[in-house]
Every structure is written in C-alpha cells, then in structure tokens.
Structure 1
Amino acid sequence: MTCPALIDFEASCLPEYGQSYPIEVAIAKVDGSSRTWLIHPAEAWRFWDWSPEAEALHGISRALIEREGLPCAQVLGEMAAFAGDCPVYADADLDAYWLEVLAHAAGAEPPFPVRFLGEYLVERGYTRPQVLEALAAARQRLPTEHIARDDASRLALTVKLLLDGETA
C-alpha cells in the first residue's frame, strides 16, 4: 500500500509575522517513500514577508532558495506526479493555503485537494489515545521538526502505524 500521502510545507515566515510564501514542500507516503522540493520564490512574492524566526526553525535561507529552489510550475508538476492517485492529507490548514499560493504562482490550479488528516483518522475510527500513541512512536523514530520531509514522513509513519495496528 502506498496511499495515503501526507504533505508538509515550510514557509517564509510564521503566520503571525505577515504574508508568507512556500519555500519547501514534501510529500511522504505510508510506504516510506518521500520527495521534497525547495521552491524558488515567484516574482509575485518579491514583497512578501520573511522572518528570521521562521528561518531559525527550518534552517532554510533566502540565499538557498534563490540558488537551489526549483520554479513553482516544476515543483507543482513533480508533486502531482509523485502523489499520483493518492489522497493527500495535512495536519494543518495552512498546507492547503500554501499549495494554493504555489499553484497561483505557477498559473495553475492545485493538482489535488489537501484534506485534513484528523478527518481521515476519525473516518477510520481511531481513538485519540491510539493516535497519540502512534504519533509518539513516530516522533521517537523521526524527532526532527520543521523540516518538511521529516514532518511529512512522521505523519505518514503515524498513519502507517495505525493502519498496521501497532497501537493499543
């Protein structure tokens, strides 16, 4: 099984510090496969905000995304190809927003909807204690936070542990 897929973005600033734009995105599947992309800033984002607090969390500098980031349209296309037919989930509504911002910059529609992970878990009847246990186990294996690949992979591992029945 490869589905579902979990998505996570890192952004130019924390929401409370202004208008942010996506700078990194990762998609991870429950089979353990994942992809991550650095995003070259779109011209439209030139006057959007950047915060040192966000940079300190994710460790991605403006210089890095300018130098190594990929064009928005390329990122969007590769994300769509990697996600394939898998439904895509996130643990925060900001991820859906940043996908829309990325798609708009690429002159396209988002290639897939981003659903809320909590809904997926409730639909499958997982209890709060089961989810917390699976999340704790995933955090032990993948403790680094605010790195898109690790965050998406931790969520995918949480779902896999639940699907495999590795919780009480």
Structure 2
Amino acid sequence: MICPALIDFEASCLPEYGRSFPIEVAIARMDGKNHAWLIRPAPAWEFWDWFPEAEALHGISRELLAREGLPPAQVVAEMADFVRDCRVYADADLDQYWLEVLCQAVGAKLPFPVRYLGELMQKRGYTRPQVVAALEEAKRQLPKEHLAREDAKRLALTVKLLFDEPPQGVSS
C-alpha cells in the first residue's frame, strides 16, 4: 500500500508571527518512499518575513535556499507527480496554507487537497490512546523534528503502525 501520503512543510516563520512562506516540503508515502524539496523563494516573497528562531529550528538559511532551492513551479510539478493518486494528509492545517502560498506564487492551481490526518484516524475508528501510542513509537524510531522529510516520515510511520493494527473493537 503506498497511500495515503503524508506532507509536511517548513516555513520562514509561523503565520501568526508574520507573513510566512514555504521553504521546504516533504512527502512520505506508506511504501517507505519519500522526497523532500528545498524551495527557492519566489520573487513575490522577497519582502515577506524571515525569523531567525524558525531558522534555528529547521536549520535552513536564506543562503542555502538561494544555492540549493528549486524553483517553486518545479516543486509543485514534482510533488504532484510523487503523490500520483494518493490522498495527501497533514497533521496541521498550516500545510494546506503553505501549499496554497506556494501555488499562488507561480499561478498554479492546487495539485491536490491536503486533508487533516485526524479525520482519517477518526474515520478508521482509532482511539486517542492508539494514535498516541503509534505516534510515540514513531517518535522513538524517528526522533529528529522540524525537518520536513523527518516529520513527514514520522507521520507516515505513525499511520503505517496504526494500519498494521486494527482499530479497537474491530477484528481482522
């Protein structure tokens, strides 16, 4: 099973602290494949906010983005290809926001919607203790945080751990 796919963005700052833009995005599929993209800032974001505190968390500098970041249009196209027909989920609505900011910068329509992971867990009948236990195990196996690739991989592992175990009260 390769679906669902889990997405995570890193940004220049959190929106509540300023006008933020996406700087890295990663998608992890349940088959173990994952991909991360550094995003070269779009010209429209030139005067948007950049917080040193955010940079300290994710370790991505403006210089790194200028040197190694990919053009936003390329990132959007490659993300769409990578997820193919998978439904894409995130653990926060900010990921949908940053996908929208990314697409708006290049005049592209959204390549896919970003659904809330909690809704999938609820729909499948998982209890809060099951989700917390799976998340704790995923954090134990993949402890690095605030790196889009690691965060997306940890979310995909959480979902895989849950999918490998039926919801409480459901026999396999």
Partner residue in 1 for 2:56: 56
1:35 is paired with a residue whose SS is strand
> Counterparts of 1:14 and 1:121 in 2: how far apart (Å)?
26
The C-alpha deviation readout for 1:62-107, integer Å capped at 9, x for no partner, is 0000111000100000000000000000000000000000011121
User: Quick one: distance in 2 between partners of 1:140 and 1:91?
Assistant: 18
Instruction: Please say if 1:153 is aligned against 2:153.
Output: yes
Q: Secondary structure at the match of 2:27?
A: strand
Task: Point out 4+ residue stretches in structure 1 off by more than 4 angstroms.
Answer: none
CA distance in 2, matches of 1:105, 1:20: 12
Report Cα offsets for 1:33-67 as digits up to 9, x if no partner: 10000000000000100000000000000000011
For 2:162 and 2:118, locate their aligned partners in 1 and report how far apart those are by CA, in whole Å: 13
Task: Indicate the residue corresponding to 2:12 in structure 1.
Answer: 12
Listed as ranges, the matches of 1:65-76 within 5 Å are 65-76=65-76
Instruction: Give the paired residue count.
Output: 168
Distance in 2, matches of 1:15 and 1:71, equals 22
Distance 1:52 1:130, change over 3 A: same
- Equivalent position amino acid for 1:80 in 2: A
Task: Please state how far the C-alpha of 1:15 moved relative to its aligned partner.
Answer: 2.8
Q: Give the gaps of 5 or more residues in structure 1.
A: none
Matches within 5 A, 1:1-168: 1-165=1-165
Shift of 1:166: 8.2
Provide the identity percentage.
70
Gaps of 5+ in 2: none
Conserved? CA contact 1:22–1:102, under 8 Å: yes
State how far apart, in whole Å, the 1-side matches of 2:134 and 2:30 are.
13
Measure the CA separation in 1 of the matches of 2:97 and 2:150.
Answer: 20
